[in-house]
């Protein structure tokens, strides 16, 4: 006890001698939403954590000649021009608690359902670092979603980034949740990132996952709209830092990011408010990099661990060629496209088979599923194409071969339908589609 006390005093004295206990200070000079300009704060580091008394905290986003720009991540009470602001000599970071698995938390490891911070929270970086090419290895192990349309036709592997794409209300989130629930016996840690969702909506998702026994291995990381733009923008980074930590321990991690459209819009807002030069559609010119650096965290690591990412993007009017969507398609290893038309016709999951792609394809499937999948896909796609060309023809007047192809196609399409939370195991998928082969 005495030793500890004297050590701590010694440290303090040493800090005073090297002037290490002097924290630079400044005053708020200009407030623009969550971006403030500060005079003073000499010697502050880029991305250092700064605090405005006990009113707010944020990070340094720019060091100018005469002032420093700070983006506020957490505001407890309103701040005013002239408020004192202090540097902390710590890089801005988030927190993570190992015991938070099974809970709904924010980037500061605050349990949102209880309203208190986890006692054993540890600081964790809020920015991701690129994973070197040579530390990766090939993606080859399957990660089953339990959905025949995906596991059979557009399979996902551990370490793959598979985009889920579709209009509002086409079941995008549901695919993510189905996949999380299906990891019950796979020893995979799941992180569901809810960005800008309503509190009610997140609570519903929590209770769904709890009911189905998925919460023990799942972390729900949230940033609500009222947490402010910088927190919303940083939260996916934090999710991947947490995922990276598990991966380094050799674990498989699944991260569902719901959704990146909002993330892009939030980043646009921050950049425009910070007077940055806008690019296409007024998005910041580095929007591609923002998403790429995030999604490049998904990988099969050389130690056996992996991070699989299912980012979600919301399209408008079924248009998958807009700027943000094509950017993210060009980053991910494939996309599951959901179509509003199929959804309305009762096909669930409402996968658009022509537009969906897995760039890894068969390499993440078992031999059986690969062969079966290739056959079913060929048949299904050829049916869908024929259906378009001969849409108006009378089926009874067609030649025998064409008619049977169309009937088979309709059957296959029917077998792809699955109600939510009713996963099929690979062997169930096999039986379901093999019997139709005869």
Partner 1 sequence: MIIGKVITISNMSVSVLLDTYDVGVRDIVYVEQDGQRTLFEVNNVSGNVANAIPLTNVYGLRKGLDVYSQKGGLRIEYSSEVLGKVFDTLGNTIDGSVIERPHTKNIYEKNLSMAEINIKGDILWTGIKVIDFFAPLQKGFKMGMFGGAGVGKTVLVKELINNVYTGQGSNSVFIGIGERSREGRELYDEMQKSQLLDKMSVVFGQMGENPMIRSRAAYSGLTVGEFLRDEQDQDVLIFIDNIYRFLQANSEISAELGNMPIESGYSTSLLTEINEVMERINSTENGSITSFQAIFIPADDMTDFAVNSILSHMDGQVALSRKISEKGIYPAVDVFNTTSKLVTAEGVGERHYSLVERAIAHFARYDELEEIVAVLGIDELGEEDTNTFYRARKLRNYFTQPMFVSEQYTGIPGEFVKIEAVLNDVENIMSGAFDTLDENEFYYIGSVKR
**Which DSSP symbol is given to 44?**
P
What mask, x for binding partner 1 by CB under 8 A, covers residues 129 to 168?
Answer: -xxxxx-xxxx-------------------x---------
Number of residues that bind partner 1 (CB under 8 A): 71
Q: Which CB atom, from 105 or from 264, has the smaller least distance to partner 1?
A: 264
Q: Distance between CA atoms of 153 and 345, rounded to whole angstroms?
A: 20
| Residue 341 engages partner 1 in binding (rule: CB under 8 A) | no
Q: Does the bond joining 259 to the residue before it have cis omega, within 30 degrees of 0? A: yes
Q: Which of residues 25-54 bind partner 1 (CB under 8 A)?
A: 42-48
Interacting residue with partner 1 among 272, 292, 340, 406 (CB under 8 A):
292
Nearer to partner 1, 105 or 260 (CB): 260
The reply on whether position 248 binds partner 1 by CB under 8 A is no
Q: Which two tokens stand for residue 344?
A: 């309305």
Residue 81 main-chain phi, psi, to 5 deg? -60, 135
Q: What letter would DSSP give residue 278?
A: P
Smallest Cα–Cα separation from 371: which of 291, 305, 289, 426?
426
Residue 272 touching partner 1 (CB under 8 A): no
The whole-angstrom separation of Cα 368 and Cα 206 is 35
Distance set, CA 199 to CA 68, 193, 350, 433 (Å): 34, 13, 26, 40
Exactly one of 83, 208, 269, 286 binds partner 1 (CB under 8 A); that residue is: 286
Answer for which of 7, 226, 344, 385 binds partner 1 (CB under 8 A) is: 385
Among 114, 289, 404, 410, binds partner 1 (CB under 8 A): 289
Please give the C-alpha separations between residue 58 and each of 88, 109, 267, in angstroms, as whole numbers.
11, 16, 16
Instruction: Identify the residue among 335, 339, 347, 418 touching partner 1 (CB under 8 A).
Output: 335
Among the candidate windows 73-81, 123-131, 198-206, 226-234, which touches partner 1 by CB under 8 A? Answer: 123-131
The distance of closest approach from Cβ of residue 102 to partner 1 in the complex, given in angstroms and rounded to an integer, is 31
| Contact region with partner 1 (CB under 8 A), list: 176-184, 232-240, 242-250, 287-295 | 287-295
Q: C-beta of 384: minimal distance to partner 1 in Å?
A: 9
Query: Under a CB-based contact definition with an 8 Å cutoff, are residues 221 and 239 in contact?
Result: yes
d(CA 298, CA 290): 14
Q: Does 304 bind partner 1 (CB under 8 A)?
A: no
Q: Least distance in Å: CB of 375 to partner 1?
A: 10
Q: Which residue, 245 or 370, has its beta carbon nearer to partner 1?
A: 370
CB of 248 to partner 1, least distance (A): 17
Could you list the beta-strand ranges (E) of 245-384: 252-258, 299-301, 306-314, 334-338, 357-358
For 295, other C-beta atoms within 10 Å of its C-beta total 23
Please, which residues bridge with residue 357 across strands? Answer: 335
Q: Which of 345, 371, 411, 422 binds partner 1 (CB under 8 A)?
A: 371
Stretch that binds partner 1, among 15-23, 75-83, 235-243, 278-286 (CB under 8 A): 278-286
Q: Report in angstroms how near the CB of residue 72 gets to partner 1 at its nearest.
A: 17
Q: Contact between 333 and partner 1 (CB under 8 A)?
A: yes
Question: Rule CB under 8 A: is residue 203 a binding residue for partner 1?
Answer: no
Give me the least distance between CB of 35 and partner 1, in Å please. 13
H/E element, 136 = strand 136-137
CB of 211 to partner 1, least distance (A): 35
Q: Answer yes or no whether residue 329 interacts with partner 1 by CB under 8 A.
A: yes
Binding partner 1 by CB under 8 A: which of 288, 301, 343, 433? 288
254 in Cβ contact with 190 (< 8 Å): yes
State the minimum distance, in angstroms, from the CB of residue 161 to partner 1. Answer: 8
Backbone angles phi, psi at 350, to 5 degrees: -85, 55
Smallest Cα–Cα separation from 364: which of 154, 137, 156?
156
Q: Is 19 left (phi over 0), alpha (psi -120 to 50) or beta?
A: left
State in angstroms the smallest separation of the CB of 33 from partner 1: 19
Asked if 404 touches partner 1 (CB under 8 A), the answer is no
Residue number, 388 or 438, with CB nearest to partner 1: 388
Which residue bears the tokens 């991701």?
128
Residues 55-114 that bind partner 1 (CB under 8 A): 61-65, 91
By the rule CB under 8 A, 388 interacts with partner 1? yes
Cis upstream peptide for 360 (omega within 30°): no
Does 186 sit near partner 1 (CB under 8 A)? Answer: no
Mutual orientation of helices 229-248 and 287-295 as an angle, nearest 10°? 30
Q: Map tokens 């589609």 to a residue.
A: 433
């Amino acid at each position: 006890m005495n030793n500890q006390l004297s050590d701590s005093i010694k440290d303090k004295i040493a800090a005073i001698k090297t002037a290490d206990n002097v924290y630079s200070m400044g005053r708020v000079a200009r407030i623009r939403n969550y971006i403030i300009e500060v005079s003073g704060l000499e010697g502050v580091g880029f991305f250092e954590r700064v605090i405005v008394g006990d009113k707010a905290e944020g990070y340094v986003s720019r060091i100018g000649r005469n002032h420093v720009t700070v983006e506020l991540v957490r505001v407890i009470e309103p701040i005013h021009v002239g408020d004192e602001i202090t540097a902390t000599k710590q890089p801005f970071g988030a927190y993570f608690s190992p015991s938070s698995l099974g809970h709904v938390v924010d980037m500061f490891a605050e349990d949102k359902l209880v309203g208190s911070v986890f006692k054993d929270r540890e600081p964790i970086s809020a920015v991701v670092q690129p994973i070197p090419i040579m530390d990766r290895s090939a993606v080859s192990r399957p990660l089953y979603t339990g959905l025949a349309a995906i596991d059979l036709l557009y399979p996902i592997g551990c370490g793959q980034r598979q985009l889920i794409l579709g209009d509002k209300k086409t079941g995008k989130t549901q695919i993510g949740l189905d996949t999380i629930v299906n990891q019950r016996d796979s020893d995979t840690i799941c992180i569901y990132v809810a960005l800008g969702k309503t509190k009610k909506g997140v609570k519903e998702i929590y209770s769904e996952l709890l009911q189905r026994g998925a919460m023990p291995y799942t972390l729900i990381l949230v940033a609500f709209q009222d947490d402010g733009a910088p927190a919303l923008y940083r939260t996916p980074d934090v999710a991947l830092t947490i995922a990276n930590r598990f991966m380094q321990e050799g674990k498989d991690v699944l991260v569902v990011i719901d959704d990146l459209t909002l993330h892009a819009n939030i980043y646009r807002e921050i950049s425009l408010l910070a007077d940055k030069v806008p690019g296409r559609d007024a998005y910041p010119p580095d929007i591609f990099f923002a998403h790429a650096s995030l999604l490049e965290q998904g990988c099969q690591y050389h130690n056996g661990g992996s991070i699989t990412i299912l980012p979600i993007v919301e399209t408008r009017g079924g248009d998958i060629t807009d700027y943000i969507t094509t950017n993210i398609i060009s980053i991910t290893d494939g996309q599951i496209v959901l179509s509003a038309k199929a959804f309305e016709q009762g096909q669930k999951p409402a996968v658009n088979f022509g537009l969906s792609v897995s760039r890894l394809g068969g390499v993440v499937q078992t031999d059986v599923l690969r062969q079966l999948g290739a056959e079913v896909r060929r048949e299904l796609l050829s049916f869908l194409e024929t259906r378009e060309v001969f849409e108006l023809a009378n089926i009874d007047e067609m030649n025998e071969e064409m008619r049977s192809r169309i009937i088979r196609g309709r059957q296959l399409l029917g077998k792809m339908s699955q109600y939510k939370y009713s996963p099929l195991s690979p062997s169930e998928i096999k039986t379901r589609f093999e019997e139709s082969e005869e």
